[in-house]
Amino acid sequence: MRRLEVISRFFLALASTVVLFVGGISAPFAAIILLPLVAQPVLGFGLRYGTAWGIGVLLAAPLLLFVFAGEELALLYGVLALMAALLLGLLGRLRAIEFLVTGVAAAMFAATGALLLYLFGSWTAMIDDFRESLNHQFMSALRIQEKIGFPRDGLDLFKERAPQLIDMTLRLLPALIFISLAFVVLINVLLLCRRFPERRSHWLAVENMREWKGPESMVWALIACGFALFIPGMEFAQLFAINLLVILGACYFAQGLAVVAYFFHKNNVPRFLRGLTYILIVFQQIFTLLVAGLGLFDLWGDFRRLDKNNLTPSQAA
C-alpha cells in the first residue's frame, strides 16, 4: 500500500511540475509566477518520500518534455531541475542561507550560460539577438506611451537614450540573470520552510529572515569593485566589477529589507502600512537606494543589535 501511494505521488509530482513549466513558457505574462514554482512539487515529493524518488521525477520530466515538446524546452527545464537536485542535496548540509542561495544560483548561472551558448552557437549571435529583442521591447513601450498621451519631449528623450539604455542593459545582463536565479532559489527555500516548518531549524542557521545579516567580508568586495572601475585599459575587469557591484547591491538591498521588516515586526506596524511601504521601496528608486544603503551601514551599525542578542549573559555583562 505504501509503494502504491509513493508511485501515485510520483506521477502527481511529475504532472504538476510539467504543467507549471509549460504554463509558464506558454503564457509569458504568468511566467514570473509559474516558473519559480516549477520545482516545488518535486521538492515536496522528494523531501517526503526520499531524495532518490525526487531525482527520479527530475529525470523523467525533461525526458517527457523532450519527447512531446522538443529539445529546447527539455534543456531549459534542466536548469530548474539542477536547482531542485542541489536543494535536495544541500538542505540541512549548507545551513548559511546566503551560501546556499548563491551557491545554487551560481551552478544555475553556469548551466544557463552553457545552454545559451549551445542554443545560439556563439556569444556574438546571442548578444545580437538580445539587442534586437530589447530594441523591439523599447519601441513597443514607446508606441504604448504615445497612445496613452505622454509628453512629446519625454518621448523624444526616451527614443534618443534608447541605444544607451540597451547597451547598459546588455552590459549588466550577467548580473541581472544571476539575481533572477538567486531570487528563484530564495523563493523555493522560503516556500519549503513554510511547508515544512518543523525542519526549518535543521535546514537554516537563521531562525527568521528578519534576523538575516550578510557576511562582513562583502564590504571588501564592494571596495575592490570600486577600485576596479577606475583601472584604465581593462574593460573586462570593469565589466566584471560593475556586474559584481549590482549583485552586491542586491545583497545589501535584501539586508536592508530585513532591517525594515525587523522593526515593522518589533513595533507591530499594521499590515496595510507595511504593504504600502514595500510597494514604495520596490517601485520608487530613491527608496530602493535608501534601503540598500541601510543594508550596507547595518554591517557596521548592527541596528537590530543581533550580535548583542546572541551573547550569553556573562558575555553581555
Tens-digit pLDDT profile for residues 10-69: 999 999 999 999 999 988 778 888 999 999 999 999 999 999 999 999 999 999 999 988
Length of the chain: 317
Residue pair 222/71 in contact (Cβ under 8 Å)? The answer is no
Q: What are φ and ψ of residue 53, in 5° steps?
A: -65, -40
Sorted by sequence, the CB contacts under 8 Å of residue 118 that are 6+ apart come out as 75
Query: At which residue does the C-alpha cell 511529475 appear?
Result: 14
Tens digits of residue pLDDT in 258-310 = 999 999 988 998 999 999 999 989 888 898 999 999 998 888 888 888 765 55
Query: Which helix (H) or strand (E) covers residue 208, if one does?
Result: none
pLDDT at 312: 40
CA distance 269 to 266: 8
CA distance 155 to 162: 10
| Range in 105-119, 121-135, 153-167, 180-194 the model is least confident about | 153-167
Percent of the chain's residues with pLDDT above 90: 50
Grid cell digits, residue 101: 542561495
Grid cell digits, residue 293: 544603503
Nearest of 62, 171, 184 to residue 115 by alpha carbon: 62
As a whole number, the mean pLDDT across the chain is 87
CA-based end-to-end distance of the chain: 59
Residue pair 258/212 in contact (Cβ under 8 Å)? The answer is yes
Q: What are φ and ψ of residue 38, in 5° steps?
A: -55, -40
Tell me how many degrees the CA angle 288-292-297 measures, rounded to the nearest 5: 145
| Between residues 225 and 314, the one the model is more confident about | 225
pLDDT at 316: 37
Residue pair 103/94 in contact (Cβ under 8 Å)? The answer is yes
pLDDT at 9: 92
Grid cell digits, residue 183: 531570487
